[in-house]
Structure 1
Amino acid sequence: MTVVLIVEDELLELEFLKSIVSEELLADDQVFTCQSGIQAVKLAKQHRPDIIVMDIHIAEMDGLNTLQEIRKFLPRAAVVILSAYSDFFYAQTAIRLRVQEYLLKPVKPSVFRQIFQELLTTVATGQEQADEEMMDPDTESNQRDFIEKARKYIHDNFRQKLTLQDVSSYAFLNPQYFSRIFRKEVGVSYTDYVNKLRIEYACKLLETTSYPAYRISSECGFTDPSYFNRVFVQQMNMTPKAYRRKHLCDSADNGSNR
């Protein structure tokens, strides 16, 4: 899992950057945004982004001072600085703070996309190297053991709020590494795997109870009923209400044919 933080106080520019970043990320990746330096430091401490896209001229604390604070606890994060000015002092300070790219506004979408793709590759390579250092020679065997342990934990707890971080911590793996080997060993992403279990359980509840959809959503581990509805439709090609109606009709037809 890759975590990206975008810091930009111009709303249109923020949406532009977020749209490109979101197109390049996987389902398990995360994007956080904010519009001030103080918010940026707080979010960076909380979510520890792998990539930071930062405008220099932001509220409360400028981008370079913000980055200086973030570097104290995230020395290896990849950083792109955006600036409307080609000021030598800014560029010099950015180099000292180990900034990967210093881009002048307005940034062309194609240029930003290419640079962001390069940063994703750099981050993935760094994560793989760190993971290899963590593992012993029996890596493939260990991977299978870790994933089997994680799958059992998921099956026992999917009806509760269960994040990727929760499961990776249980398996004693960092979230990024766990996300990659889970997809490799199981064939689907962590999110899709958990959602499949939850929707299967939701179908059982729709068939055997009269619970309303919002309660079934909660019983299955979803925290947002509208998200539950979207996932249900995606997997079953019908709404929960339509699924229950279909089940009742099928049951009635089977009963009348006996």
Structure 2
Amino acid sequence: MNVVLIVEDEILEREFLTMVVRDELHPEDLLLTCDSGTEAVKLARQYRPNLIFMDLMIPERDGLSTIEEIRTFLPHSSITILSAYSDFSYAQKAISLKVFEYLLKPIKPSALKEVFGRMLKAGVSQPAPVPTTADKKPAAESMETRDECSTFIEESIKYIEEHFKEKLTLEMVASKVFVNAKYFSHVFKKEMGVAFTDYIIQMRIQYACRLLETTNYQAYRISCECGFSDPSYFNRVFCAKMNMTPQNYRKYAHVVNQNDSASKII
């Protein structure tokens, strides 16, 4: 099995790393997270991770000195440094500590996946650790992360429902729930099963269908009412989603409503 340790004191960065890494792991693998150098050494001694992501600027002791101590008892673990600094002295020290990779923040999900994939291939799996009471902390932290994700997704959905008829971007919604835009995009798609932009379009098309069924508004007015600034773009999107033009949908809905009314009378 693989034992992965993520050491990052910024909660949003830690959640982002956790989400990306978890997608690449197997059920039997163990994922641990912490936010300080002291805790990192403690977890490393207890669980002996074969794969480690280490932020340089962490509380209590910096990332490099933490790696230096971990190397005394885990000389073969694959360690990737995460840093907002490209200082040569850091890189030089990292080389002496035989780190696997040196990633500069902000880190793209694709870059993280690529590096983690190489670490998985190069890493040596560890035997499964004997469960102890300390297992409760990583599990609790994982549950806390999921709860936080659910909370800001629920808040974002509520905001979208109230404002989808207006100009709305991913960055705007992410800022409303105080989440990094890239991380928000990743979590939103994972939780909702659809990308943010597609979700907005679905809501607008559903509203357009309701207006076509219940009003005599022209297509250009409906496009505006639904948040589309360009009527021709609205027509293209509507056709792609509904397999018919807005005008034909109105006719179709009218026929269906008449048939429903007739069946009720009979």
Q: If the length of structure 1 is used for normalisation, what is the TM-score?
A: 0.49
- Find the structure with the greater CA-based Rg: 2
